[in-house]
Amino acid sequence: MENVSAFRAFVEDACRRAGVDESVCFDLKLAVDEACSNLVVHGYKGRQPGPIGVSFAREGDEIVIIITDHAPPFHPDDAPLPRLDAPASERRPGGLGWHMIKQLVDRLEYDSDTENGNRLRMVKKVVPLQNG
């Protein structure tokens, strides 16, 4: 989990360099935290902890973050939908990570192959950089 904090610090630093405003930066840090925490808690559960890679790029008016791992594949579409309208007594802890990621970014793409492992691509639109 300490590594997840390091990924968050990486995203914060990259956001600053890319001129991304603080609220977008908060969303991206949270999305990366949730995705990586899921890998630590679920993806690599019961096996040797494997590598997790996080890359950050600004492509025009989009921020593209790619998270790579070698855990068993888990497609975001397969994540169960949390019952957000259920009363507290019926709410289950957990299950919120993917729901939040889907709210925090504009686009998610996922692919997986035996050689390169899994690749989650998260895209968020940002305000274009101002000239001058």
Partner 1 sequence: MRIVVEKRGRVAVVSVEGSVDGTTAGELTAALHGQVSGGARDLVIDIAGVDYMSSAGLRALLETVKEARKQGGDLRPAAARPEVLRVLDLSGFTSILQVFPDVDSAVASFPA
Other residues' Cβ atoms within 10 Å of the Cβ of residue 14:
19
Neighbours of 24 (CB within 10 A): 17
Could you say whether residue 15 binds partner 1 (CB under 8 A)? Answer: no
Residues 6 or more apart in contact with residue 121 via CB below 8 angstroms: 64, 65, 66, 107, 108, 109, 110
Q: Which of 28, 30, 63, 71 binds partner 1 (CB under 8 A)?
A: 30
Within 50-109, which residues bind partner 1 (CB under 8 A)?
82, 84-89, 91, 93-94, 96-97, 99-100, 103-104
# residues contacting partner 1 (CB under 8 A): 30
List interacting residues with partner 1 (CB under 8 A): 1-2, 4-5, 8, 23, 26, 29-30, 33-34, 37, 40-41, 82, 84-89, 91, 93-94, 96-97, 99-100, 103-104
